[in-house]
Amino acid sequence: MRADARRNYDRILVAAGAAIAQHGAEASLEEIARHAGVGSATLHRHFPSRQALLEAVFRDRVETLCAKASELAADLDPGPALFTWLRAVGTHAASNRGLAASLMHGAYDGDPTLGATCHTMIVKAGGELLEHARQAHTIRPDVAIIDLLKLVSAISLATEQELGGAAEADRLLALAIDGVRPHEVPHAHSEQ
């Protein structure tokens, strides 16, 4: 892709991401093109359908989320790296506002492997963080990455329509994280 075409592609992705976060998956393609500073024809040259644009936004967000896992693993201790990443997963889920559901409904004319590929990428990235946290004894040994992702997803779903939903999601995630940390078992004192 030529440099100017790549810049247009990237600007469209950024504008589409912002529009989806604000208006959901049905965001106006004309508004996206306008915010990207390109014409409608340029948008459609890069993304021939709404489905293609939604898939590109979703894939880009997942790649960013997985890259964040690597950055956190390099910059933080294992427990904080995992827990910070789980908060990022929650933010990712909240910013998708109907994107995943829209992709599922339109899967027949899109990439049928997108969901599975993105799920595998997230599970792999989170699984590596979880393993480091497990080795550092900062998480209970019986916790699986799928457990954590389900918790984050459920919290995001439960709070997405609430006023102040992001703060509530963060509070609930903090409670869930506290629940998966190892807890000391009180020693039974025997009387003699």
Check pLDDT > 50 for residue 191. Answer: no
Please answer whether residues 71 and 88 qualify as being in contact, where contact means their C-beta atoms are separated by less than 8 angstroms: no
Check pLDDT > 80 for residue 186. Answer: no
State how many domains the chain has. Answer: 2
**135-145: average pLDDT:** 94
Percent of the chain with pLDDT over 70: 90
Residue 190: per-residue pLDDT: 47
Which is more confidently placed, 1 or 71? 71
pLDDT band at 157 (very low <50, low <70, confident <90, very high): confident
Across the chain, mean pLDDT equals 88
- Domain of 115, CATH number, reads 1.10.357.10
pLDDT band at 168 (very low <50, low <70, confident <90, very high): confident
Q: Write out pLDDT tens, residues 67-125.
A: 999 999 999 999 999 999 999 998 888 777 667 667 766 554 677 788 888 889 999 99
Residue 115: per-residue pLDDT: 81
Residues sharing a CB contact under 8 Å with residue 87, sequence separation 6 or more, in sequence order:
170, 173
Residue 158: per-residue pLDDT: 86
Asked if residue 150 and residue 168 are part of one domain, the reply reads yes
Asked if residue 172 and residue 151 are part of one domain, the reply reads yes
Please answer whether residues 55 and 111 qualify as being in contact, where contact means their C-beta atoms are separated by less than 8 angstroms: yes
**134-150: average pLDDT:** 94
Check pLDDT > 50 for residue 192. Answer: no
pLDDT band at 160 (very low <50, low <70, confident <90, very high): confident
Asked if residue 167 and residue 139 are part of one domain, the reply reads yes
Asked if residue 90 and residue 4 are part of one domain, the reply reads no
Q: Within a 10 A sphere around the Cβ of 141, how many other Cβ atoms?
A: 7
**Rg of the chain over CA atoms, in angstroms?**
20
191 assigned to some structural domain: no
Check pLDDT > 70 for residue 29. Answer: yes
Task: Name the residue among 82, 78, 20, 87 with its Cα closest to residue 50.
Answer: 20
**28-43: average pLDDT:** 96
Asked if residue 102 and residue 145 are part of one domain, the reply reads yes
Asked if residue 127 and residue 173 are part of one domain, the reply reads yes
Residue numbers of the domain that contains 13: 1-48
| Phi, psi angle pair for 34, to nearest 5° | -60, -45
153 assigned to some structural domain: yes
Residue 183: per-residue pLDDT: 76
- Domain of 10, CATH number, reads 1.10.10.60
Percent of the chain with pLDDT over 90: 59
